[in-house]
Amino acid sequence: MTKNIDKKTYATPDGNTLIATYSCQPLLINTLNMAKGFHDKPHQHAWHQIIFPSRGLLKCSTDTHQFCIPHHRALFIPAHTWHESRAQQDTTFIAVYLNPASLTHLPASSQPIEVTPFFRELILKLRQSVVRDQEQPPGILRLLAVLEDELSTDKDSSLELPMPQDRRLIPIADELLSHPGSTKTLAQWARQTGATERTLSRVFQKEIQLTFPQWRQRLRLMTAMTLLEQGLPVQDVAHEIGYQSVSAFIEAFRLAFKLTPQQFKHQRTIE
């Protein structure tokens, strides 16, 4: 999971067909459906993209990060960024493609977006109003400028998991991605990898800008979203990802995502 995306597996998706067909438009919008387990293989776009699930849950990967995108978040991906997505549940998402020639002040790296009520209504308004084969009216261009401002706000790092590239950290990340409930300590990992605990801790902090416990907790909470989407009870999810206390899990989830696990399970999707 920590290795770079194999770009040889690239297959042109619908987005690139739209971009090639309507290359003079400032933006394009498409609504896509993915069945549970669908894998959108590694690809890139010449335009920027916003991935916005209206229902379901997507896991997206770039060369250096993994992202968990539920139905109350979105993901911005800069043009020419290799990425792939997997549907953890039956998922519908709104794909917004932004022409770099029309927008010049956007983030330089992929980042999750907190979907405020205003941002949600802005995307829905654009989806209803944009016409592919006609010149866009001035009102759409003004909305596009507002969208550019929204994308320039601080990113939501709670759904972002930086992936280590150091050879000493890769086995740790790989095992925890497969078994997020593992309680193995960094001292135990040190004995297994041959590096000292202090060295592993220092490399983790330097390369990822997170401590080992912070990185593991973020992985666990992102995994929890997938399990909650699958319908598992909150107590089972807490134990599956390594929490001995259900109340501690609920509080950690609430602090990270601004809602409880139960609220996440019952949150309404966008029509």
- Determine the Cα angle at 66 with ends 170 and 50, to 5°: 160
Q: Of 240, 223, 214, nearest to 177 (Cα)?
A: 223
86 shares a domain with 196: no
CATH value at residue 60: 2.60.120.280
Q: Are residues 16 and 83 in the same domain?
A: yes
Q: What is the pLDDT of residues 117-175, one digit of tens each?
A: 899 999 999 999 998 888 888 889 999 999 999 998 767 777 889 998 898 999 999 99
Q: What 3-state DSSP class applies to 86?
A: strand
User: Within a domain: residue 1?
Assistant: no
Coil/strand/helix, residue 70: coil
Contact indicator for 99, 145 with CB cutoff of 8 Å? no
Number of residues assigned to the chain: 271
CB of 120 closer than 8 Å to CB of 90: no
- Asked whether residue 205 is assigned to any structural domain, the reply reads yes
Does one domain contain both 45 and 175? no
- 21-73 residue pLDDT tens: 999 999 999 998 999 999 999 999 999 999 999 888 899 999 889 998 988 88
Half-sphere exposure in the Cβ direction for 139 (13 Å, CA): 7
Q: Do 153 and 178 belong to one domain?
A: no
Per the structure, the complete domain to which residue 231 belongs is given by 164-266
Domain harbouring 178, CATH code: 1.10.10.60
Please give the model's pTM, rounded to 2 decimal places: 0.81
- Token couple for 32: 């896509």
Same domain, 172 and 85: no
Does one domain contain both 59 and 129?
yes
